[in-house]
A and B are shown apart, each in its own frame.
Chain A
Amino acid sequence: MNVTKFAICAVITVGLIVFLNNGWNIKGTPIPPLGKFLDPYHGFWQNIEKTDYKPGKQINFEGLQEPVTIVFDTLMIPHIFAKNDADLYKAQGYVTAMHRLWQMELQTHAAAGRLTEIMGNEVILNIDRANRRLGMGYGAKHVLDYMQENDTVRTMIESYTNGINAYINSLNYEHLPFEYKLLDYQPEQWTPLKCAQLLMNMAKTLNIFDKDIEMTNALRMFGKANVDLLYPDDEKVGDPIVDNTGKWNFPPLQPDTIPLAVPEELISMNRLTERDPTVGSNNWAVSGTKTATGSPILCNDPHLGLSLPSLWYVVQLNAPGVNAMGASLPGAPGIIIGYNDSIAWGMTNAQRDLVDWFKITYKDTLRNEYKFGDGWAKTEKVVEEFKMKGGSTFYDTVIYTRWGPVTYDDRFHAENNHRDYAFRWIAHDKSEEIMTFYKLNRAKNHAGYMKALNHFSSPAQNFVFASVSGDIAIRIQGKFPLRRPNEGRFVLDGSNPHHGWRTFIPAYQNASQKNPERGFVSSANQYPTDNTYPYYITATSFEAYRNRRINEILTKKNGVTVDDMMTLQSDNYNLKAAESVPVFLSYLDSTRFTPDERIAFDKLRKWDFFNDKDSEAASYYEAWWDALVPMIWDEMESETVTLDIPTAYTTIKLIREQPDLVFFDRVKTESKETAREVVQQSFSNGVANIKQWMENTEARQREEGLYGGPATGPAWGRFKGSYIGHLIPTLRPLSIPVNTGGNHDIVNAHSRTKGPSWRMIVSLEKSGVKGFGTYPGGQSGNPGSPHYSKLLDRWVEGKTFPLTFMKEPGEPGTYSTTTLNPE
């Protein structure tokens, strides 16, 4: 035996194995454990599914009461048939985890401020600290309290949790989802708290926004008259969601009147929660009097950041007392947007200010007490622990007041002088949303829908409704504080006990409407009510264009079919352009055009105002608009003061009606500009940007690879450059580019990275409810599955799939069947 040779070879072999069995971080670039990852028997290769892949046929499942049958259809949508609620939600948890485990866990890690455990670096640490300092965990605990108090909800959540854990416990490295292998970590056990965190994530996406600080600064800098001109609460455009003029028959609560004290200083900050006017949603329901079949049709397309794996997971839930189908949120039991045998429902975000900032005055540098009324109130200090991937730990102390957590102080974003504002957010409160969905999934009629909605407080939504029995309805539901006029627009004084939310509008007084005369109900994030509604309403902004286009089409159209609704959901008419292009063009001095500007001008003059993917005029318009807005509102670009820009609608209105307004003058030029000069200059800049885009060979080549064939002109779909990105943005190869029309402010609200995250159409026919739907992704979250993006193509085309809604297992449309057996 050659001892030396053996020893050397053995050491090299073991050394290689150890090296290749561990992940490494080389100069900030994480490297997965290459041996494990590239091994064809266990590594990423095992995540590649065959074209005809089918889930396992028999699965033993501990804790199940009776067998559960799961039928997968050709779109890989599971249809779950269980004998009781507990088994139903166990199976939902199991099957959702089977397709989406990594995403579910990542989203809850994000909400809990625990991303550093997966990707430990400074940028991620700041994101985590922000989430904790915004009280995401504080709110999740309150949501969990309710989940544990209510027997029905507890059963739902615990069963769902068991189902997810049954799947997690069945995993070995070979079957671990792809991203765990790539990022080199393991899933942990699911808990009910994670369900609560997931709901907090949704609340954060939808209603954490405010512009209190920006408005406070604007008031100081520009005065009350300009604030009302630039940032009106109600732009008075189009129809409100509920028009019930003069018929609000309830005794409204009366707020007291106290003067609002606005702090003296100008506030500067890098906002963590910047509002995004490009996110919104559409929903509507058309009465049987206006449809071809005589039955109501309900439609919904919530616009959100588009990602892979997709936000939504489609599922059918069948058990005694429930037969519902639609889009679920991976991580929460039940169906969120969908239909059952009797009704259909959908949601858009209700624009409402549900966030306030309170100036805190500490007694001393210890920060144990802060001024409150005539005396001092005690703070509570919470030490937050961040475990970094790699082993170290970071500690952060967050101070809580009666209003909420002090998000920014000298330890976090201290570069700004906005310190010591406490954050109050509706989503911090205990709430019962899961019960809303439990009841909606089982509701039989309008009364059942109304009862279900009473449990819903945050994030406030416009719930649209239609039933087989022929009713249509809409209700703006949330927990809305009773506000004094102008309260909530500006920052508040945290030492004044009279500030803050004293009471909430009773749920029955929230605006709602059933079977209105016009034969449809609709919402698109516009102003909620007519001006006789007896409560003060404010929000970061209200939508001004999509709602008018939808209502115009629905008003004109009779004999409505499902195809008509598909056409409307993917409607590219740019009302904003139709209202602004004629004014803009009239301001241009055509004698000064360059040849390129002449081409653009001619295309815009002949434009039909549709942002279709092949339209070049649309590209010229959008490039023009994108150059124009920052040029007009350069006053708001201050580095020392945080300000918000007015809405598109107000901007266009001022360009048309007050072209000599002082704000049109550009701060950095010596000359004096009016709207005319600014429109002219931004037109030149927009045309130059397009020319640059055309000439940018690198971008062009990349784009040619993506869309096939060279571009001969700036077609809108290409210029927009939309893509559906993977949840981890740096994993660009897992993203999918798409060539579509539309944009924000258009019914087909697909901007570069945001848009309709789920398109659903439901025809509530007496012979059986028919559902249609698609979303930009696929049922499987596994990038190695043919179902990763199977639903995407039809979404791009603006079409939907007819959804299979089974009465019992094994009906036509069955692709494979899995039985879960009690162990």
Chain B
Amino acid sequence: MRFIIQVLVITILASIMELFLPWWSIALAAAVGGYLFSTGANFLAGFLSIVILWVITSITIDLTAGAALTEKVAAIFSTTKPVLFVITALIGGLVGGFAAMAGGALRKDRRRMKYY
């Protein structure tokens, strides 16, 4: 449950921060989420949060697209559209994962989180 909340918080926080800050704000969001909710699976939480956020956002854009730029970018990278989504997700996920881990490591004692 705590893990799910952590994922949700990072996802929502990142989606808000991305409106005002550059792409690396996902790391800030993940770090904050890692710090506040430090679970045993901080990396996975940060990773999943950004993967979910970036995949949903990019697929939404692609579904309503008036032109097939996604296919063309995939072709420029000598790959296919599904792979491009995977690369996008992986890049965001890795940054989110490590940032969440760093955030979690800042926490002195995990048990003190219980009051939450």
Which residues of A pack against B, CB within 8 Å? 1-2, 5-6, 9-10, 12-13, 16-17, 20-21, 34-36, 38-53, 173, 178, 182, 731-734, 783-786, 788
Contact = CB atoms under 8 A, between A and B. Distances in A.
Contact of A50 (B65, B87, B92, B108): B65
B106 A1 contact: yes
Given A35-B23, A42-B18, A20 B95 contact: yes
Contacts of A17: 24, 27, 95
Contact of B105 (A2, A46, A49, A733): A2
A725 to B, nearest CB: 13
A223 B86 CA distance: 68
Contacts of A178: 69
A40 B57 contact: yes
Interface of B: 18-19, 22-24, 26-27, 31, 54, 57-58, 61-62, 64-67, 69-73, 75-76, 87-88, 91-92, 94-95, 98-99, 101-102, 105-108
Contacts of B70: 45, 48
Contact of B108 (A1, A13, A47): A1
* Majority DSSP secondary structure for residues of B touching A: helix
A49 B23 contact: no
B76 to A, nearest CB: 5
B101 A5 contact: yes
Contacts of A733: 71-73, 75-76
A777 B108 CA distance: 61
B81 to A, nearest CB: 12
Given A2-B105, A13-B98, A784 B65 contact: yes
B95 A45 contact: no
Contacts of B92: 35, 38-39
A609 to B, nearest CB: 38
A49 B64 CA distance: 8
Contact of A16 (B18, B31, B98, B108): B98
B66 A40 contact: no
Given A41-B23, A42-B22, A784 B69 contact: yes
Contacts of A182: 76
Contact of A785 (B57, B67, B71, B91): B67
Given A17-B27, A48-B70, A178-B69, A40 B61 contact: yes
Contacts of B22: 36, 42, 173
B106 A48 contact: no
A812 B73 CA distance: 37
Nearest to A39: B23
Given A48-B61, A50-B66, A51-B64, A36 B23 contact: yes
Given A42-B23, A48-B66, 16 more contacts: A2-B105, A5-B101, A6-B105, A13-B98, A13-B102, A34-B87, A34-B91, A35-B23, A35-B95, A39-B26, A39-B54, A48-B67, A49-B65, A51-B65, A731-B76, A785-B67
A692 B57 CA distance: 47
A48 B71 CA distance: 11
A173 B58 CA distance: 17
